[in-house]
Amino acid sequence: MKITSESSEDIANVEAWAELIVDILKRIPADKRAVVLALITKYEEDAKQGREARGGLPPIVTSEEFVQGWEGSPRAYHWHTIMRLKSLMIQVFARDISNNHSGHDAAELLFARHRHGTGSGLLEDYLGDRGKI
């Protein structure tokens, strides 16, 4: 079975994205899930208002504005925690993929070129020797 990377149709599939978010929510303590969802909803509402105010254009931010916005932000303050939780989710999702596919198919999924990703879109480009700790 040839497995390809995500398609434009995959990216537009709202139900599939919702299922992915449900998988992430399962890792959040049950008593924190509603708080997390409320915070995400507020972030998205603020971002939407910004996009609408700019006519859909991305924000133009100077280096100084970026640094000022970053310093003291939750993302800066919780940087290491965020990185550990991202690592946790990668492990959980990689295990899920490998448990539900043959070794070959799991490798095709995990190491596919992701056209909708960032950078090269290739996982191995970001592991290098660091994958051998």
Q: Is 25 exposed, middle or buried (0-12, 13-18, 19+ CB in 10 A)?
A: middle
Q: What percent of the chain has pLDDT over 90?
A: 57
What is the residue whose two structure tokens read 């603020």? Answer: 46
Write the DSSP assignment of 5-29 as a string of letters: ---HHHHH-HHHHHHHHHHHHTTS-
CA 107 to chain centre: 20
Q: Say which amino acid occupies 32.
A: K
> Do 4 and 112 form a contact (C-beta atoms < 8 A)?
yes
> What's the mean per-residue pLDDT of the chain?
89
pLDDT band at 97 (very low <50, low <70, confident <90, very high): very high
Q: Once rounded to an integer, what is the mean pLDDT over residues 21-48?
A: 95
Res. 3 pLDDT band, cuts 50 70 90:
low
The 10 Å Cβ neighbour count of residue 57 is: 9
* Higher-pLDDT residue of 76, 18: 18
pLDDT the model gives residue 68: 76
Query: Residue 41 — pLDDT band, cuts 50, 70, 90?
Result: very high
More confident residue, 79 or 58: 79
Better-predicted residue by pLDDT, 30 or 64: 30
Average pLDDT over residues 112-133: 80
